[in-house]
Amino acid sequence: MPGEALSPWAKTLSNTGFTTGVALGDTDCDGDLDMVLGSDMAGFLCTLWLNDGTGEFTKAPKDLVSPMTVAVKLCDLDRNGWLDLATGNYNKAQYLGIPNRVYMNDGAGNLDYYTTLGEARTHGLDAADMNGDGRVDLLAGNYGEPSVIWLNQGMGPVFDTGYWNSNYDTTAAVTACDVDGDGDLDIIASNYEGEPNAVWRSR
């Protein structure tokens, strides 16, 4: 109830490793929120946890083969009403870029590997229709290289590298929002290592 203290409620999920990203959404279309966890530690894969409707989660039978995942985002990329998944990946131990991945939902809650997007040290992800064409695009906030937008061209979907170059190469998180109320989505980026956080306005 509003104003009441939260009661302690501990839930543990086994074999989740060093979790660095979480996303919630109804992946199996049963009316409750499921959960995707990303782990950036070698030997632990990205996992989908299905909600039974009471807050009890069961690990989906198939792991998502997305190694060293820092960020996860559930969104409908092909406009069929089912939530798909994008993962932002980064090998921190060796300071190497790893291809980001896209998984498409088959309508039964199974997230099947579909394609890769570049090879970057991605720390932050967001999803939004950045160019107003009705399709959800992907924003990747990268470390050690410029951040980019992957524009959704439909047709599968197919993605093309977009038009945003952040000028900063230590981005930890990105989010799309209309900060100036003009109806276009802008971008806010938070950055590491003394680089200024930045707001990028659409024109």
Q: What is the pLDDT of residue 179?
A: 93
Q: Give the tens place of pLDDT for each residue, 9-52.
A: 666 776 666 788 899 999 999 999 999 998 877 667 888 999 99
Q: What is the pLDDT of residue 165?
A: 58
Name the more confident of 169 and 187: 187
Q: What is the pLDDT of residue 89?
A: 86
How far apart are alpha carbons 133 and 5 in whole angstroms? 44
Mean pLDDT for all residues in the chain: 85
Name the band, by pLDDT with cuts 50, 70 and 90, for residue 162: low
Judge contact between 72 and 16, C-beta under 8 A.
no
Q: Angle at CA 8, nearest 5°, toward 3 and 38?
A: 105
Q: Which of 123-127, 148-152, 153-157 comes out lowest in average pLDDT?
A: 153-157
Q: The whole model's pTM is what?
A: 0.88
Q: What is the pLDDT of residue 45?
A: 80
